[in-house]
Structure formats: structure tokens, C-alpha cells
Structure 1
Amino acid sequence: MLDTTFWLEWAQFAVRWVHVITAIAWIGSSFYFIALDLGLRPEAGAPRGVHGAAWQVHGGGFYHIQKYLVAPVAMPEELTWFKWESYATWLSGFAMLVLVYWLGAEFYLIDPRVADLPVWAAVAISLGSLVFGWIAYDLICKSRFGDDNTRLMLGLYVILVAMSWGYTQVFSGRAALLHLGAFTATIMSANVFMVIIPNQKIVVADLIAGRAPDPKYGKIAKQRSTHNNYLTLPVLFMMLSNHYPLAFASQWNWLIAALVFLMGVTIRHFFNTMHAHKGMLWWTWGLTAVLFALVVWLSSLAPAEAEGEAAARLSPAQHRFAAAEGFDQVTDIVLGRCSMCHAAEPGYEGIGRAPKNVHLETPEQIAAAAEQIYLQAGLTHAMPPGNLSFMEDQERAAIRAWFAAGRS
């Protein structure tokens, strides 16, 4: 009989796949339109209201694209809206947050060494921070402070750095960087849902009613779209970071995140300037390399302690696995088959740090990683990789039996 962990794992896989597909669609269209907008040039003989035009070639065909600064004189019969990519990306990402970090809060969201939170409090902070992020950002954009876009971007950066530090004070390192990505992605998606699309609908309604659209709506939407442009690459880094402990398990993970946001600016500035036909600012890549070198250096400093280090700090669920029937046998199995790599100082040649920052050298650490051990070595043969330590089928069966006992 397959347990809930099996079905949850497949649900996560399915939703993650959807999330990647929709994110590709959203980022692709976003980057395309930013490049298109920057590359438009005045065109002789263009219709009234056309701000610029561009000729492009792709897939064997030629495309002639024109942009109206406010809107055309009359509405076309068919109008394509680019919005569902953004909505689907956020919805699937939020579903991933629920499936992995809320339903698995005791394993992935809460680190008792950082903050010994009950599950309900950790989930409340998770959700509340996303809501706070959008409200604070939107109010600042609409205030007089937001009239200067450069000043606004600097203010937003300060908020992101503060949030990166704040998340590391309440969540595990892995969850902290993931939440920083979710915090930023929520702002980006809300920009589309709450500002960009509604403003475009106002312009369309004015056209249909025969009124001249107010250009302020396009200006506001353009500002939010520019913010999204510069935030995209850092969000991708945060979402990928949960696979790389050198980023999330460092004691300087919040500062690494702060530098990544700067790299997002330097990289996008290069491409934005290039698409605007203002030259190739190669110095931005040099600055990006320096920032990345700082990130690598920070990750080499004293690493954060492995999660779940002390038995007294285990969550209630982890305590159940430590007390479950078969735990002593599983401890012996893991110590013999897994701990040569999953250690503070791995003994296996070529392994510099424990994969995923999972340490399996003590009974307490093994109890803390119960679900990962079950999925990687009990339910599947993913670990040890290539079965290098020759884990036997009866040992895997013992892991499955222990996990079932701990879940009951």
C-alpha cells in the first residue's frame, strides 16, 4: 500500500513541472517585449500615434511590429493579452510552497536552531510575509517616494536585503532563500494582476467609449514592467538555490542573496542597453564576475551547522521517528552506507561537502532527515548513487518499515 509521502512526492513533481513550463512562457514573453520595446525606432510614413517600429525575422518569416505610445485610434478586432503566463506561474509556485514547505514544515521550513516555531506560526509568517511584501511595495510605488524611479529601485533593494536577513532569522537556510524568491515573485505577479493588466483595460475601455486614453496608465504599467525585468534573474537564482547548499547553508546566505540581486541588475543592464542600440557595456560582465566571486568567497567561510544537529531541538515529528521501532537498525544502516558522504568532513573522494547539506553522522541527524532517507534510499534507489556502498534490498525494506512506524 503506497503511503501519502509517495503521492505527495508525485504531486510536487507534477506541480513543479507546470511551474517550470509557465515560468518559461512568462519570462520568455517578458524578456522579448522588453527587448522589442527598447529596440523600436521611428518609422517614416507610420500611422498616427505610432511611437516606433521594428522589423524582425524568425522561423523563416519577416515580422513588422509597430508600437502605439498610448493606443491606436480604434480598437483592433482581436487583441492578444499576455497575462495568463504570469498568473499560472505564481499559482503553480504557490502550490509548490504549500506542498513542500507548508505540508513538510517540520522537515523543510522550520529549523529549531534558528527559531523553534510551531507549524501554524511558521506557515502564518510564510503567508503573511508575501502579503506584506506586495502591500508595502505597492504603497511605496504610489507614494511621492516612487516618483523617482532610480530612488524607488534603491529603496526596493534595501527592502529586499532586509527581507533576506529577516527570513534567515525565522526559517531554515533552504526555506529562507526560497521565500525570498517567493516574496519577489509575488510582487512581480501582483504587478501584472493588480496594475499592468487593469491599466491596459482602462485604456481599452476608453478606446471603445471613444475617449482619448490618459497616458499616465501606460507610464505606471511601464514602471512596474521595468521592475519585473530587473527582478527576474534573482528570482530564478533563489528558486534554484534549494538544490545548492553552498548558497543556502552558508551563514552568509542573506548577504549572498543581496549580491545576487545586484548581479540581476548588472546582467539586465547589459542586455537592456544592447537592445536599445546604445552599445555593448562589457564592463557590466566584469562587475558581475566580481560580485559572483564575492558570492563564492562568502560560501567558503564557516558553513552553517547542519540542520537538526541536537536531539533537544528536534521537532515533534522528528522525535517520533527517533522513537519508532527499527530506528537503531536504520541508524546502523545509514552510518554504514551513507555517512561517508553525508558528514561534516566527507570521507569519500571527490565529495567536498555533504550533498544538500544533509549530515547523517548521529542518530539525531538521521531522525531529522527521516523523510529524505525514506524517499532517497527506501522508496527509491536514488541513494547511494549507483549503489556505491552496496545497500541491500533488506536494508531498504528496513528503512521503509521504520518510516511507516514513525508515521503511524
Structure 2
Amino acid sequence: MDAFASDWLNLALRWIHVTVGIAWIGTSFFFIWLENHLRPPIEHREGVHGEVWMVHGGGFYQLQKFLVAPPRLPPDLHWFKWEAYATWISGFLLLCLIYFAGASAYLVKPGIGLAPWLGVVIALAVLVLAWILYDAACRRLQGRNDLMVGALVFVWTVAVAWGLSQVFTGRATYILVGAMLGTIMAANVLMVIIPNQRLIVGGMLEGRPPDAAMAVLGAQSKQRSFHNNYLTLPVLFTMISNHYPGTFGHGWNWAVLAGLFAIGILVRHYFNLRNRGRNRPWLIPAAAAALVALAVSARPERPAAPAAGGQVAFNDVEAVVQRRCAGCHAARPSHEGFDAPPKGVVLETAAAIAAQAPAIYAQAVATEAMPLGNVTEMTVDERALLGRWIAQGARLP
């Protein structure tokens, strides 16, 4: 596929992915909000567990929840599943288009000798294995220790992030961890929530009254839905993480990811508590303080300028940029797969290189996020040279 077609396919898939993702996460947030705002019904009705009254768009809404199922089914029953399926499918296609098709540049860390096809196999295995282990933990601990399941998922996620960071680029590691959690969320809908709901509805259509077995199915579905709710903010971060090389390009990128995930979970927990009437206002300042502390601890040290007589010659800097960067960052890129310079950045003149010095430092010196996947094999000494030149004021000849 040529670069032009790939670019437009990327655009279409990403647009779809974001659109259906908003729909899925929106319904997830709404139903958790609804669950946490249920109050005893004003008027008694058989089987009603709770209700909530709302006003929106000039009208009033009364929503009621039946603990197991209503005495009879309404003619129109709305299911919420396609938002989850479409989000996962579009995300997986994006993963295939960018990271699997371009595994040598975007997926596999250079210099470790891992074949690109094997990197793809490892990535797919992680997605499948994550669901198998998570599902087994949920079934074994169902109704006994949901907190334990959450802790296991978090530890597993951090361990996977560390392992992937050893063989994959930082950018790919973050995306794959997000894909792993997204797979768990979508599989919860496909493999547990919807099948359980179908069994409940099927029993009612056969004329069987709601019983304890239906209550167990409902509890299982609620557990998985609740887990999905806590995973949303971490997954949302991974979806935008490729814009922040200071995170995925860090030497301890897996630990940075773990910290960001913990902060996201804390924020989600605050809103869940607040919706249940248990306001804990200190949680938000605590999350903000944790984010600041994480940013400070992840900040790279700016290289000190060398002693007198160690001035870096711009000709040496220009040579590194032309050798390692200009294949992509040129008016007419020579690197395969690029019809235009990424983000419109062209590094073909001395003035352009000096103007981009802060970005060069952030992405090529401090985080090693660029060159992408280090496909041009920029060396440690070359990065240090660029860092010293920038520390000296990015002077031109």
C-alpha cells in the first residue's frame, strides 16, 4: 500500500475509532453514574430495585432498575454492545495498519535481533493471554474479592509493560498495553455481559420467572461492567500517548505508565464515590499532586555545557541531522512510507535546525523517542553531541 492510501486509511480508521470510542465510554460512564444514583422508588413497583429522576433538554426522565428482571419484557429492549465491538475492531485494524504492517520501524526495538514477524506474534499472544488470565481470575474470585481482581490486573499490566518495553519501542509498548486493556474490556462485553443478558432475556421469553440463577448472571455482568469503568481512563491515555514522547520515550517508560494508570484509576474512583454520595474531595488534589510528582521525577536532566574550548561545531550537528533525521524531515522525504515530513517539520537548513532545537532535545536527546524506532540508528555519542550543542545555546556558524 502506498503512503497516500495508507494515510487516508489511517485517518478513516482513527476517526471511526474515536467516534465509537466516545459512544462506548459515554454509555459506560452513564450507566455507572446511573447505578450510583439509584434511590428507593417513590411508588412501589414489583421487582424495582431503585430509580433515578433526571431533567434534560426540557423534559423529565424516570429510570428504574429491576434487581433481576421485570415481570414482563417491553416490546422495545435496547442493547448496548456495538459501541464496544466497533471500538475494538477499529482499534485492532489501526494496530495492524501502523504497528504490525510497519513492525520493523514502529514495533520492534532496534538492535535486539527480534524478527518483525515474531514481534507481531508476541503482541497478539499478549492480547489473548491477558483475557484468559483476567477471565480466570474473575471466575475464581467472583463475589468474594473484587479488589483482589483489580490488584491482579494492575500488577499484570505493569509486568506486561515492563516486558514489552524490553523488546518493543516505547511508543508501541504504550499502545499495546492500551490494546490489551481494551481487549479485556471488549471481551467482557462479548463473552460475559451480553451472553448473560441473553440468558436472562431467553428465560423470560420461555416464561420462567426470575430466580437466583438469573441474579448470579446479573452480578457477573455488573462486576465486568464495573471493571470496564475503572479501565477507561488508563486506556484513554494510551490512545493519545504517542503525542507525548516524554512518557513513552523515558528510560523507565513502563514505570511512568504505571504511575499514570494509578492516577487515572484514582480519579475514576473519586467520581464513583461521589456519585454514590460519598464525596472525598481530597482525592482530586492528591491525584494532581501525584501527577506533578511523576512529571518532576520523569524530567530528564539538561546536559551541562562543556568547559571552555569544547564548543560544538554546527557542521557536526548538521551532519548528524542530515544522516539520522532528514530522511523523514525533508521537503521530499526519502524514507519509505513518507510522502511528506512528519508534522510538517523540515530539517534541511541551518535556520530550521536551530528553530527546532527544543523539539530535537525533547525527542532525540532527553527521551530517545526519535528517530522513530531509531530506524536510522542514531548513536549515543550523536545524541550527546546534539545535547551539548543545545546546552551551548544552539548556535549557528
TM over 0.5: yes
Q: Deviations over 1:172-207 (max 9, x none)?
A: 000001111001010001001100011111110111
Q: Distance in 1 between matches of 2:288 and 2:347?
A: 44
The 5-angstrom pairing of residues 5-404 of structure 1 reads: 5-113=3-111, 115-144=112-141, 147-213=144-210, 214-278=214-278, 280-301=279-300, 334=348, 336=350, 339-340=353-354, 346=357, 353-354=362-363, 357-359=369-371, 364=376
Offset, 1:126: 1.1
8 Å contact from structure 1 (residues 18, 92) kept in 2: yes
Q: Distance in 2 between matches of 1:170 and 1:359?
A: 17
8 Å contact from structure 2 (residues 141, 149) kept in 1: no
Q: Distance in 2 between matches of 1:199 and 1:297?
A: 46
8 Å contact from structure 1 (residues 134, 190) kept in 2: yes
Q: Deviations over 1:271-305 (max 9, x none)?
A: 11111122x211111221122123212321369xx
Offset, 1:164: 1.2
User: Aligned pair in 2 of structure 1 residues 79, 365: CA closer, same or farther (>3 Å)?
Assistant: same
Offset, 1:136: 0.9
8 Å contact from structure 2 (residues 170, 369) kept in 1: no
Offset, 1:146: 7.1
| 2:382 corresponding residue in structure 1 | none
Q: Distance in 1 between matches of 2:5 and 2:234?
A: 31
Q: Deviations over 1:204-233 (max 9, x none)?
A: 011111113320001011111111010100
User: Aligned pair in 2 of structure 1 residues 151, 201: CA closer, same or farther (>3 Å)?
Assistant: same
Secondary structure at 1:340's aligned position in 2?
helix
> How much is the aligned-residue C-alpha RMSD, in angstroms?
2.7
In structure 2, give the amino acid aligned to 1:192: V
User: Aligned pair in 2 of structure 1 residues 194, 46: CA closer, same or farther (>3 Å)?
Assistant: same
8 Å contact from structure 1 (residues 141, 147) kept in 2: no
User: Aligned pair in 2 of structure 1 residues 14, 322: CA closer, same or farther (>3 Å)?
Assistant: closer
Offset, 1:60: 1.2
User: Aligned pair in 2 of structure 1 residues 101, 322: CA closer, same or farther (>3 Å)?
Assistant: closer
8 Å contact from structure 1 (residues 322, 363) kept in 2: no
In structure 2, give the amino acid aligned to 1:226: F
Offset, 1:335: 6.4
8 Å contact from structure 2 (residues 38, 51) kept in 1: yes
Q: Distance in 1 between matches of 2:355 and 2:295?
A: 22
In structure 1, give the amino acid aligned to 2:132: I
Q: How many residues align?
A: 333
Secondary structure at 2:104's aligned position in 1?
helix
Q: Distance in 2 between matches of 1:157 and 1:168?
A: 17
8 Å contact from structure 1 (residues 252, 298) kept in 2: no
8 Å contact from structure 2 (residues 246, 363) kept in 1: no
Q: Distance in 2 between matches of 1:138 and 1:198?
A: 14
User: Aligned pair in 2 of structure 1 residues 251, 95: CA closer, same or farther (>3 Å)?
Assistant: same
Q: Deviations over 1:240-293 (max 9, x none)?
A: 111110111001110111112211221111111111122x21111122112212
User: Aligned pair in 2 of structure 1 residues 338, 163: CA closer, same or farther (>3 Å)?
Assistant: farther
User: Aligned pair in 2 of structure 1 residues 341, 301: CA closer, same or farther (>3 Å)?
Assistant: same
Flag as ranges the 4+ runs of structure 1 deviating above 2 A: 144-147, 332-342, 354-360, 362-366
- Relative contact order: is structure 1 or structure 2 higher (C-alpha 8 Å, sep ≥ 6)? 2
Q: Distance in 2 between matches of 1:205 and 1:143?
A: 26
Structure 1: 5+ residue stretches without partners: 304-308, 310-320, 324-331, 367-408
In structure 2, give the amino acid aligned to 1:165: W
Q: Distance in 2 between matches of 1:249 and 1:150?
A: 32
Q: Distance in 1 between matches of 2:370 and 2:55?
A: 49
Q: Distance in 1 between matches of 2:110 and 2:142?
A: 39
In structure 1, give the amino acid aligned to 2:246: L
Q: Deviations over 1:379-400 (max 9, x none)?
A: xxxxxxxxxxxxxxxxxxxxxx
TM (norm. structure 1) is: 0.76
Secondary structure at 1:169's aligned position in 2?
helix
User: Aligned pair in 2 of structure 1 residues 174, 341: CA closer, same or farther (>3 Å)?
Assistant: farther
Identity over the aligned pairs, expressed in percent?
Answer: 42
